[in-house]
Amino acid sequence: MIRMNSFIDKNLLQQVLNSNEFKGWLLSREWFGNKTNLASLAFAVSINHYEFISNRIFLLVIEINTQSYVKNYFLPLIYYENLQEILEERENVSENIVKLTENTFSKKLAIYFHDKKEEDIITLNLLEAEYCAFFWRKILFDKKLSENFPLHSLYLTLYSEQFEDERNMRNVQSLIEAALYPDRYEFSLKQIGGTTTNLLFQINIFNKKTPDKRVSSFVLKSYKSYSPGLETKSLYVLVKNDFPNAPKIYGTIRFYENEVIGILQNMENKGNLGDIYWNELTKMLNQIITDINADYSFLQDKELVSNIIKQNCKETLLVSKQIGLEIKKLHKALILPEIAQYSKEVVNSREFLENHNKKLLKIVTKIQNNMKRREKVAFYTSPKIQAILIDIQDILERYHSEFGAENIKIQPLHQDLHMQKILYNKVNGAYDFCFIDFEGDPQIPLEEKKQKFPIEKDLGSFLRSLSYIKFDALLNFIEKRLIGKDEYRVPEEFLFSLYFRKAAQISKKDKVLESVLYLLNHWERSMMNKIFDKTIKVNFTLINYFTIERALHELDYELLYRPNKLIIPILGLKELIDRI
């Protein structure tokens, strides 16, 4: 049998990575950004950093390059001839084998062997390494390899000294012990999280003497975008400030100059906060709107609608009352004066807003240009939608010029705070929350992520979640309940007509939709009133300003990746304009 490591080298990998087959495989990865602009495959892939470890594992930093675009990714790969060779016992199940196969890139190669003086056809299988416990066992628990980390430009840091409580000390100690005596332990691995720009896995450690009892569990996070990280520093600050509602950071691995792997506390949870809001809202709609041909004009009675919401959204109202205070505690815990990046500052408001406004106006221009390129899609080029973007430009300028306060307090923030970034757990009827993903919005440049902002930026971002869930639930309702089998309309067309095309004759479906929208708008206002506790002092002009910013980023994202959701940020912007 021919051993792969006898002929795979950096030059061969470079050729494979630049093949159209591999570029197509890259585009299929969730973490691979700018898919729309790179879909033509007219980009180059080069290897910036290369290390071959443990006979099977390639640690790569690849650069994606076009004339106007450069981005680096951390890409560890495992090659295999037979998948069984790299499976832990607990991984060797059909469901996992299918998953690993789906995440493998395979290519036939014609290789000339000088010793045989003949050419042979070889199948090169490259698996995204993070999906396999074999990779984590090697990178975390192989003592011989870890001793040689510096030779491979790898650097492991464990933060054991910052933990004083027994539980976290025990977790760190079990991590160290498993690294010292790996033969005593076995591991299981499962992917966690949904669509994300990183890969997250939960690794469970079992002692072979008691294989049914889990010793400990960690979240392993692979930071795919290869750039100086923010999350590990933020988590470190939160630990120093004894903030209980974020995962503890136990350690990191750097590859050359940047952190590529984080070892985090596994936070038990039942889901993200958005699940509570979306599930109760959709359930309420289905229970109230039982017959789409009935008259629901009663839903325009304010007092009646308030009672309907109180009866059907008890959990949502409860967590809304709590979450505003939890966000306030988070902002307090993100301040550590001895680290300049995590201190609070007072800056001139005019200068701050002028600089930020320039960035937002560039985003508006970018969106307008992208919409012009998509002329075949009905609403993108509608004059009414173009008018919204023009109005937003005017409003941003007005906020900037008319802002009253001379100074603004700025500090480190989450910067991508929406409901999917907040996990929840419920124990004995009480809610616990956990804030995750402190890397900032992936659409924002790194230098902007490092900047400080008013707390209203996080609050505006969070409030956009309410509007997004409202319209997403409405689209779901339209698709499931309003569109007949013989109709060739998509749900977003209904919403577009409701807001932008007022027909002379209003159909029964239109009347139902108007009543449902009244209910949903009242629901959104009710939740906003609960979230803004009287003890939270905020500037509502700034909240509106940063809510617009969040909606613009959503519009930019949906335009590139999910055009069927484009109507959601468009209507969010329209509502903001109508309220001002």
Residue 194's pLDDT is 59
Pairing of β 345-348 and β 104-113:
unpaired
Cβ proximity of 439 and 226 under 8 Å = no
Q: In what order do the strands lie in the sheet with 185-192?
A: 154-158, 249-255, 258-265, 214-222, 199-207, 185-192
For the stretch 186-215, pLDDT in tens is: 888 999 875 568 999 999 988 888 888 888
Cβ proximity of 43 and 33 under 8 Å = no
Rounded CA separation 439/413 (Å): 10
Q: For residue 414, which of 317, 530, 332, 527 has the smallest C-alpha distance?
A: 332
Rounded CA separation 256/61 (Å): 10
Residue 221's pLDDT is 95
Q: How confident is the model at residue 54 (pLDDT cuts 50, 70, 90)?
A: confident
Who wins on pLDDT, 396 or 559?
396
Residue 552's pLDDT is 94
| Mean pLDDT over the full length of the chain | 88
- Judged by average pLDDT, the poorest of 302-306, 315-319, 539-543 is 539-543
Instruction: Collapse the DSSP code of 132 into the 3-class scheme (helix H, G, I; strand E, B; otherwise coil) and give the result.
Output: coil
Mean pLDDT confidence for 59-73:
93
Residue 443's pLDDT is 78
Amino acid at 167: R
Residue 347's pLDDT is 95
Q: Is the pLDDT of residue 73 over 60?
A: yes
Q: In this structure, what token pair is assigned to residue 279? A: 């599930």
Give domain limits for the chain: 4-128, 272-579
Residue 161's pLDDT is 63
Rounded CA separation 99/76 (Å): 17
Q: What are phi and psi of 268, to 5 degrees?
A: -60, 135
Q: Give the percent of the chain with pLDDT over 90.
A: 53
DSSP characters over 491-524: HHHHHHHHHH---SS--HHHHHHHHHHHHHHHHH
Mean pLDDT confidence for 522-548:
87
Q: Is the pLDDT of residue 463 over 70?
A: yes
Residue 420's pLDDT is 92
For the stretch 473-500, pLDDT in tens is: 999 998 888 876 666 677 787 788 777 7
Q: What are phi and psi of 142, to 5 degrees?
A: -100, 105
Q: In this structure, what token pair is assigned to residue 565? A: 């959701």
Contacts of 434 (CB under 8 A, 6+ apart): 245, 246, 247, 267, 269, 422, 423, 424, 425
Cβ proximity of 174 and 216 under 8 Å = yes
For the stretch 347-359, pLDDT in tens is: 999 999 999 999 9
Q: Is the pLDDT of residue 138 over 80?
A: yes
Residue 320's pLDDT is 95
* Range among 64-78, 82-96, 203-217, 530-544 rated most confident: 64-78
3-state helix, strand, coil in the chain (%, to 5): 50, 20, 25
- Judged by average pLDDT, the poorest of 16-30, 140-154, 392-406, 515-529 is 392-406
Rounded CA separation 135/77 (Å): 9
How long, in residues, is the chain?
580
Cβ proximity of 171 and 182 under 8 Å = no
Q: Name the CATH architecture for the domain at 272-579.
A: Alpha-Beta Complex (3.90)
Q: How confident is the model at residue 6 (pLDDT cuts 50, 70, 90)?
A: low
Q: Is the pLDDT of residue 2 over 50?
A: no
Instruction: Collapse the DSSP code of 32 into the 3-class scheme (helix H, G, I; strand E, B; otherwise coil) and give the result.
Output: coil
| Separate counts of helices (H) and strands (E) for the chain | 19, 16
Q: Is the pLDDT of residue 391 over 90?
A: yes
For the stretch 360-369, pLDDT in tens is: 999 999 888 8
For the stretch 216-264, pLDDT in tens is: 889 999 999 998 888 989 998 998 899 999 999 888 999 999 999 999 9
Residue 580's pLDDT is 74
Residue 115's pLDDT is 59
Q: Is the pLDDT of residue 153 over 60?
A: yes
Residue 486's pLDDT is 67
Mean pLDDT confidence for 491-520:
79
Who wins on pLDDT, 184 or 76?
76
Residue 411's pLDDT is 96
Q: How confident is the model at residue 59 (pLDDT cuts 50, 70, 90)?
A: very high
Amino acid at 300: Q
For residue 320, what are the CA distances in angstroms to 17, 534, 557? 48, 13, 27
Mean pLDDT confidence for 558-579:
86
Rounded CA separation 136/78 (Å): 11
Rounded CA separation 364/441 (Å): 17
Residue 183's pLDDT is 84
For residue 481, what are the CA distances in angstroms to 13, 491, 516, 552? 52, 10, 12, 30
Mean pLDDT confidence for 9-29:
92
Amino acid at 363: I
Q: Is the pLDDT of residue 7 over 70?
A: no
Secondary element (H or E) of residue 78: strand 69-80
Who wins on pLDDT, 360 or 112?
360
Q: In this structure, what token pair is assigned to residue 409? A: 């307090």
For residue 171, with 0-12 CB atoms within 10 Å meaning exposed, 13-18 middle and 19 or more buried, which class applies? Answer: buried
Who wins on pLDDT, 108 or 505?
108
pTM: 0.89
Quickly tell me which residue has 């470190």 as its tokens.
236
Q: For residue 419, which of 532, 274, 275 has the smallest C-alpha distance?
A: 274
Q: Give the percent of the chain with pLDDT over 70.
A: 92
Residue 378's pLDDT is 58
Q: What is the 3-state secondary structure (H, E, C) of 227-274?
A: CCCCHHHHHHHHHHCCCCCCCCEEEEEEECCEEEEEEEECCCCCEEHH
Residue 1's pLDDT is 41
Rounded CA separation 367/230 (Å): 27
Amino acid at 131: Y
